[in-house]
Amino acid sequence: MINIMICDDCLEIRNIITNVINDFYKEINFKEFNIVSFDNFHDSIDYAARFKNIYLLDIDLNEEKNGLILGQEIRESDNYLGEMIFITNYSHMGFKVFQYKLKVLDFIDKNYNFQKQLRESILIATKILSKKENGHAEKKLQIKVGSQIYNVLFKDIYYIETIKSSRKVVLYTSNSRLEFYDTLKNLSSLLDDRFIQIHRTIIVNKNYIENVCKDYNNPYVVLKDGVKCMISKDRLKEVMKSWM
Site residues for other proteins per CB under 8 A: 66, 68-69, 72, 76, 90, 92-98, 100-101, 145-148, 150, 158, 163-164, 166-168, 172-181, 223, 225-227
CB of 152 to other proteins, least distance (A): 11
CB of 240 to other proteins, least distance (A): 23
CB of 176 to other proteins, least distance (A): 4
CB of 63 to other proteins, least distance (A): 13
Q: Which is nearer to other proteins, 66 or 188 (CB)?
A: 66
Q: Which is nearer to other proteins, 115 or 148 (CB)?
A: 148
Q: Which is nearer to other proteins, 32 or 112 (CB)?
A: 112
CB neighbours of residue 212 within 10 Å: 18
Q: Which is nearer to other proteins, 173 or 242 (CB)?
A: 173
Q: Which is nearer to other proteins, 164 or 185 (CB)?
A: 164
Q: Which is nearer to other proteins, 18 or 72 (CB)?
A: 72
Q: Report in angstroms the alpha-carbon separations of 224 from 49, 75, 173.
A: 42, 35, 10
Contact 126, 176 (CB under 8 A): no
Residues sharing a CB contact under 8 Å with residue 198, sequence separation 6 or more, in sequence order: 204, 221, 229, 230, 231, 232, 235, 239
CB of 225 to other proteins, least distance (A): 5
The DSSP line for 61-87 is: -SSSS-HHHHHHHHHHHHTT-SEEEEE
Residues sharing a CB contact under 8 Å with residue 87, sequence separation 6 or more, in sequence order: 8, 13, 17, 56, 57, 58, 59, 107, 108, 110
Give the separation between CA 198 and CA 243, rounded to whole angstroms. 12
CB of 141 to other proteins, least distance (A): 14
